[in-house]
Structure 1
Amino acid sequence: MKKGVIAEPKPDDFSARATSAWKVGPHVSSAGGVENAITNAASVGANAFAIFLKSQRKWESNALKDESIAKFKERMKTFGYSPSYILPHGSYLVNLGNPDSEKREKSFACFLDDLKRCEQLGLHLYNFHPGSTVGAGTTEASLALIAECINRAHKETASVVIVLENMAGAGNVIGSRFSDLGGIIKQVRDKTRVGVCLDTCHMYAAGYDITTLEGWRQTMDEFEREVGAQYLRGMHLNDSKGALGSKKDRHENIGQGHLGLRTFAHILGDPRTRDIPLVLETPAYDVPTGSSAAARESLATQGMGVWRAEVAVLNQLAGRSEEEVGEEEIGEMRAEIADAVKKASKARDVKGKKAAGGGGSGRKSKKKVEVDEDEEDARRLIEF
């Protein structure tokens, strides 16, 4: 190999992935090229993953490079990833429910661009947040606008399934109730190309108590009545920092929040969650600004270790009945994830102090930022 040429990664460079009908993995970075998402997923043992196809906070982004598209497709085959288990996430700016036609058209253009990127990469699914009334119209009117945009997008694309995400319920945001999602789908003409992604943190924050097996069953019964079981095309597996019905969308690491690990045991024991992408959006441990290359590499390793632990634990729970998973085992699994989180937190804090040069400013740099995605959506969609 020529000096300075980086070898193409191979599956043998990573630990073997679990064989399971339950496809678990995190939302990974595609920094440096969308093809890097695949090796990032492989490095944590993922059998599914999510990505952003462009900046989620900008209206326009550079086109995907032909070289990146080719490498992405090649690595998908080499690493044995199916497009059916990749769930790209849409832009946070998009609001297809905005009554303002000019602003809605701007959102639609951004939305359609993402769908076409999916087609360029050979991906089958696309997940997005439905939108908001922005306080300027009724929920029913916005549901119709969203469905109209989906129908338009279907005409301008060939195959991608558009997947609506349930929301936590802050402000005027649409989608916290299953009836909202069902109301949109009823107005979509090609129902083979629409579906739903259920976010566990969002469900709990919206008032769906899924912490018990009976609560989970009742919730899914409502989903079947209001939407239809056939429309479940993916899930976001997140624990919750917020309490039941809080409308606070604050994700926590698996087993470390209000939902608890037992919740994920009965979700992964349900055959309805087989053969769909089960994506972790749990807290990441970002590298503090100003960190050295060595510090960034060290922290990235520890941060990926959290996802690796979460994926491993969820794979152990997959396909097992409630009775098969004892409290002692649940405790051991919870401790395994907690230990990985502790190591990543410690690494972040140490690197944060060093990046800030120590002292008082170091304390400020290490502070963990709480992101309330739904509240952020509610504020942002007032404008868009």
Structure 2
Amino acid sequence: MSEDREGVDYRVPAWRARHRDPRSPDFLARVYKTFSTHREFKGRLGTRAMPKRKVVDESHLSPPSDDVPDRDYTVACADSLSLGERSTKKSKGVPIQKGPSPVAHQDFSVIPVGPVGRRSKKQQVKSEIENKETGKDEEPAHETDVHMKKRQSTKVEGPEIDQKANLANLGGSTTKRQRKSKAEKEAELVEMPLAARAVGQKLKIGAHVSAAGGVHQSILNSVHIGANAFALFLKSQRKWVNPPLRDEHVTAFHKLCRDYQYDPAQQVVPHGSYLVNLAHTDKSRTEQAYDSFVDDLKRAEKLGIRLYNFHPGNDQCGNRQAAIAHLASNINRAHRETNTVITLLENMAAGGNVLGTTFEDLRDIITLIEDKNRIGVCIDTCHAFAAGYDLRTPEAFQDTMNQFEKIVGFQYLRAMHLNDSKAPFASHRDLHANIGTGFLGLRAFHNVVNEPRFAGLPLILETPLDVRDSRGELVTDDKGKAKEDRSIWAREIKLLESLVGMDAGSEQFRALDAELQDQGASERTRLMGQAERKRKMEDRKAKPPNKRRQKATKEEEKSTGESSPSRLDDNSEVETNGI
């Protein structure tokens, strides 16, 4: 160890000074290793190749003379330490200035050194501004302390909110808003409902609510909108394989049903997966669809649910009666594997190979079911209207109900889906609209809620939750996603309940009907235009060729004495198909 000299205490020999010299490769390697965990410094130097170690001339690093300390050597030693170490830590082998320093005019705690130092200085200034605003007389934090505090997340409570707001106005950083816990969110659903429930009414009106977070969450979501019935998915309807129900979710579901007076056997109607097609005759696809279907029924039984609604499927074999028989066979097989659940066939809107579009399809399926006590029907008002069953006037509504009674039977009606239609009558398009804004109109739903045969049935809304502006355009968020508003369901439930016993010819009803029709006018006009264009195209295809074209074809045949190549191709194709 070198001995002490006047004014300077050298605790390290000169041969180790290369670690303190900014001009030395060893100094850069030491600094990189020391600050490798620092975000800003790592971002600057993390991708820079470090110089290889090599032997350098150390003659210029010899200790200074007895009279005057070497300035470069002293500064290099001082810079090699972090700011915190200079003030608190006495490292072994570090030169400490005892007397008047030749570089005393340089305040290392104030002058920023490099990009990291400049950022630290900015943080220090922000801290001083914060102290001024709050009236605190605190010493500014060290740069290293500022960086350490930046990594720590702090909770904002009480008067600190104003303090953070002031910082935001001055360009400072603010902490993230504290997220609500799961218990707080559940409490808000119940304690701050969008509409109060009218428990005890004959009409059980609700909506298809979310079960995200567990099946028991559907009950809280139903209470939140003031519903007396609800539908849900018992698992993800976008996947074939799903994890089983968790026991704690099943227990919570039963408890919440008791707490909020929901009868799961009568007021809960789960919806089947859209992937399932029990009418598909392919063996592998049949087993895949059947396994998913039976899994849903077993989940329903575990929750005490007795009604289960699903789409009948579509014919993929080209033989409608064979597809219906295959569907009925799978339903019978599922009934044998389960005990209590009643499977409900939903009527469909589209024609073609889709099963369940007509009341006759529903009748044919029910005829082939062995246990008639475990089969039923769920009528969707939008699907029925699009399929050609009118519900708009009292006379048309009664005529449709009489058809259902005659063909299927009211004893099989166990639930309904209440949806208006964006598409015109008999368009075979499944486009749900909010109550009173579509082509069905408010009068159709006045007919439904005042029909005594529907008392006690779960009436489920599947209407859109999209928010629209005064022009009928969708309102989107910053990411371009359509905004949803669950209060729409709450308002529609109250609207339907208010229609019970209301005079359809009263001024109140006419004003309400006109207001809702105005809200959906733009969508109806757009869909009507699409329907008109489609009808014209179909008429054009069905129209026979004009006389001028027929005459030109005959003259061409006479001149050539044979048919045109295109005609020959058509004939050959017909003959091939005939074979």
TM normalised by structure 2 equals: 0.54
Cα–Cα, structure 1 residues 328 and 285, in superposed 2: closer, same or farther, change >3 Å? same
2:188 aligned with 1:6 = no
Aligned residues of 2:349 and 2:382 also touching (Cα < 8 A): yes
Residue-by-residue CA offset, 1:175-199 (whole Å, 9 max, x unaligned): 0100101111111111111100000
Question: By how many angstroms is 1:220 displaced?
Answer: 1.0
Does the 8 A contact of 1:309 with 1:337 survive in 2? Answer: no
Indicate conservation of the 8 Å contact 1:305/1:340, yes or no.
no
1:235 corresponds to 2:412:
no
Of 314, 319, 329, the residue aligned with 2:508 is: 329
How far, CA to CA, are the matches of 2:334 and 2:350 in structure 1?
26
Mapped to 2, the partners of 1:194 and 1:4 lie a distance apart of 42
Give the CA deviation at 1:331: 3.8
After superposition, give the CA deviation of every residue in 1:104-149 in whole Å (9 maximum; x if it has no partner): 1211111111111101111111000001102x23221111111111
Query: Structure 2: 5+ residue runs without aligned partners?
Result: 1-179, 468-474, 522-579
Distance of aligned partners of 1:170 and 1:100 in 2 relative to their CA distance in 1, 3 Å threshold: same
Q: Secondary structure at the match of 2:232?
A: coil
Q: How far did 1:170 drift?
A: 3.7
The size of the alignment, in residue pairs, is: 330
Structure 2 CA distance for partners of 1:4 and 1:276, relative to 1, 3 Å: closer
Letter in 1 for 2:183: I
Equivalent runs, 1:32-51 vs 2, <5 Å:
32-51=213-232
Larger radius of gyration: 2
Residue 312 of structure 1 pairs with residue 489 of structure 2: no
Aligned position for 1:27: 208
Per-residue deviation at 1:4?
6.0
Q: Which residue of 1 aligns with 2:357?
A: 176
CA shift at 1:338, angstroms?
7.8
CA shift, 1:13, in A, is 4.9
Query: 1:16-165 residue pairs with structure 2 within 5 A?
Result: 16-18=196-198, 19-83=200-264, 84-134=266-316, 136-165=317-346
Which residue matches 1:348? Answer: none
Deviations 1:266-323 (A, max 9, x none): 111101111111000001238968769xx99xx55xx1111111000101123x27xx
Q: CA deviation at 1:341?
A: 9.3
- Identity in percent: 46
CA distance in 2, matches of 1:339, 1:49: 29
Contact 2:420 2:433 in 1 (8 A): yes
Q: Is the 8 A contact 1:238 1:251 kept in 2?
A: yes
Partner of 1:362: none
CA distance in 1, matches of 2:218, 2:515: 25
- Distance, in Å, in 2 between the alignment partners of 1:309 and 1:336 is 14
Which has the larger displacement, 215-224 or 124-133? 215-224
Task: Answer with 63-72 or 10-19: which moved more.
Answer: 10-19
- Following the alignment from structure 2 to structure 1, what is the Cα–Cα distance between the partners of residues 181 and 457? 40
Matches of 1:127 and 1:196, distance apart in 2: 8
State how far apart, in whole Å, the 2-side matches of 1:152 and 1:5 are.
41
Distance 1:311 1:335 in 2: 19
Q: Secondary structure of 1:85's match?
A: coil
Contact 1:306–1:337 (CA<8 Å) still a contact in 2? no
List gaps (5 residues or longer) in structure 1: 343-384
Deviations for 1:219-250, whole angstroms, at most 9, x for unmatched residues?
11111111110000000000000111100000
Amino acid at match of 1:71: A
Q: Secondary structure, in 3 states, of the residue corresponding to 1:149?
A: helix
Q: How big is each residue's C-alpha offset from its partner over 1:306-348, in whole Å with a ceiling of 9 and x where there is no partner?
A: 1111000101123x27xx2335322444477689999xxxxxx
Query: Which deviates the most, 282-291 or 233-242?
Result: 282-291
Q: What is the SS of the residue equivalent to 1:308?
A: helix
Helix, strand or coil: the match of 1:245?
A: coil
> Per chain length, whose mean CA-contact separation is higher, i.e. which structure has more relative contact order (CA < 8 Å, sep 6+)?
1
| TM-score of the pair, normalised by structure 1 | 0.80
Q: Distance in 2 between matches of 1:240 and 1:216?
A: 16
Q: Which residue of 2 aligns with 1:347?
A: none
